Structure 1
Amino acid sequence: MTRQGFGELISEAMATFIIISLGNSVACMYTLYDPSPYANAYWGVCIAWGLSVTIAIYVTGSVSGTHANPAVTLALAIFRGFPWKKVIPYSLAQVMGAFVGAAVVYVLFSPVIDHYNEAHQLTREAGGAAGVFFTHPGLAITPMHALVDQIILTAFLLLGIFAITEQYNEMAPGANGGALMIGLLVATIGAAAGYLEAWAINPARDFGPRLFAYVAGWGSSAFPAPESYWWVPIVGPLIGGVVGAAAYQWLIYPFLPARQRASKSAS
């Protein structure tokens, strides 16, 4: 592996580390405190998660492109020429960064987590406060319904990312504005459907913290989780990312005027 290649992996790990360190801390603020500072301001949770993505892009984008999500990496490999040999290393780096990010959240909030569980007569093994680390189905949602949700929501994510980052899209934000728009895209998805199953839309975002919670005492409530839910936030986003990227590449990209002009000039 080249020095630059190693730097790209560090960059991807750092990106998911930033997202999880900040995003899961917001989940702690939302869940563990009574009254919650976000009790009547859920949009604030969404914005904080979105801005954590924006910050991650500003920090690491110049090195690796800030995929920060195996679903993004896979879609870029299929549709935009990202090297297939980098897909697995990028994905592993993303999961590792998310794992370490969850560890930082634990360092910050472990006394509050323990207090919350004691106050509510919960245990880690029973899943007490587990939602601050990883996702789970919400009200009336079954795992199979959650799978469909994750496919749809991640399709929206990749549809938006491909539009925002497309060089021939004359309506895309310029320069560094794309980082903010991607963050707002994540926030909007959370605001629209976050209560369904906490809008994972990213296998690393769920699996890395889930692994940390497993070794930190949450055991089977984290992995395999009730109803063996652990695979849903992995498979759903991977499928959904391809669907959303395909929708953009097949339904929008061929008709971009700037692309058509470039094709005519090249012929």
Structure 2
Amino acid sequence: MNRQSIGELISEAMATFIIIGLGDSVACMYVLYDPSPYANAYWGVCIAWGLSVTIAIYVTGSVSGTHANPAVTLALAMFRGFPWKKVIPYSIAQVVGAFVGAAIVYVLFAPVIDHYNQVHQLTREVGGAAGVFFTHPGSFVTPMHALVDQVILTAFLLLGIFAITEQYNEMAPGANSGALIIGLLVATIGASMGYLEAWAINPARDFGPRLFAYFAGWGSSALPAPDNYWWIPIIGPLIGGIVGAAAYQWLIYPFLPARQRAQQQPTNR
């Protein structure tokens, strides 16, 4: 592995570290405090998650492209020519970064987590405050319904990302503003659908913190989780990413006027 490849993996780990370090922290602010500063301002939670993605892109995008999500990496390999040999290393780096990000959140909020569990007569073993680290089904949502939800939510995510980053899309944001729009896309998905199961839409975002929580005392409430839920925020986003990317590549990309003009230009020989 050459120096550039190592740098790309560090970049991907750093990206998910930033996203989880900031995103799970706002989850702590939402869950652990009474009254919560976000009790009547849920959009604040969504925008914090979205801007964490934006910041991650600005920090790491020049090195690795800031996939920060195995579902994005897989979709780019299938439809945008990203090297298949990098898919697994990128995904592992993303999980590692998310794991370390969760560890930082724990360092920050451990006393508050313990106080919350004490006040509510909960323990880590039964899942007390686990929701600040990883996702779980919301009210009235079964695990299998959550799987369908994650496919749909991640399809929206990749549909948007492919549109925002497409060179032939004349409506895509210009200069370096794409990072902000992707962040707003993440925030919008959370604001419109996040209560279903906390909008994982990213296997690394869920599994990295879930793995950390397992070792930090949450045990089986993290892995395998009630109803063996742990695999749903992994498989659902991977499928959904393919669906959303395919929808853009097959239903929008062929009809982009700029692409059609480029195809009609004579080749210089």
Sort the TM-score into its range (normalised by shorter chain).
over 0.9
Which residue of 1 is the match for residue 195 of structure 2?
195
Which residue of 2 is the match for residue 50 of structure 1?
50
Shift of 1:45: 0.2
Shift of 1:248: 0.1
Which residue of 1 is the match for residue 66 of structure 2?
66
Which residue of 1 is the match for residue 250 of structure 2?
250
RMSD: 0.5
Structure 1 Cα separation of the partners of residues 130 and 109 of structure 2:
12
Structure 2 Cα separation of the partners of residues 50 and 228 of structure 1:
28
Shift of 1:175: 1.4
Structure 2 Cα separation of the partners of residues 72 and 45 of structure 1:
23
Structure 1 Cα separation of the partners of residues 134 and 174 of structure 2:
34
Query: Unaligned stretches of 5+ in structure 1?
Result: none
Which residue of 2 is the match for residue 104 of structure 1?
104
Q: After superposition, what is the alpha-carbon deviation per residue over 1:104-149, rounded to whole angstroms, capped at 9, x for unaligned?
A: 0000000000000000000000000000000000000000000000
Equivalent pairs, count: 267
Q: Secondary structure at the match of 1:195?
A: coil
Structure 2 Cα separation of the partners of residues 222 and 263 of structure 1:
51
Query: Unaligned stretches of 5+ in structure 2?
Result: none
Structure 2 Cα separation of the partners of residues 49 and 254 of structure 1:
32
Which residue of 2 is the match for residue 171 of structure 1?
171
Which residue of 2 is the match for residue 136 of structure 1?
136
Shift of 1:266: 4.3
Q: What percent of counterpart residues are identical?
A: 87
Which residue of 2 is the match for residue 216 of structure 1?
216
Which residue of 2 is the match for residue 80 of structure 1?
80
Structure 1 Cα separation of the partners of residues 114 and 137 of structure 2:
23
Which residue of 2 is the match for residue 227 of structure 1?
227
Q: After superposition, what is the alpha-carbon deviation per residue over 1:74-131, rounded to whole angstroms, capped at 9, x for unaligned?
A: 0000000000000000000000000000000000000000000000000000000000
TM-score when scaled to structure 2?
A: 0.99
Structure 2 Cα separation of the partners of residues 194 and 216 of structure 1:
26
Structure 2 Cα separation of the partners of residues 62 and 174 of structure 1:
16
Structure 1 Cα separation of the partners of residues 205 and 199 of structure 2:
10
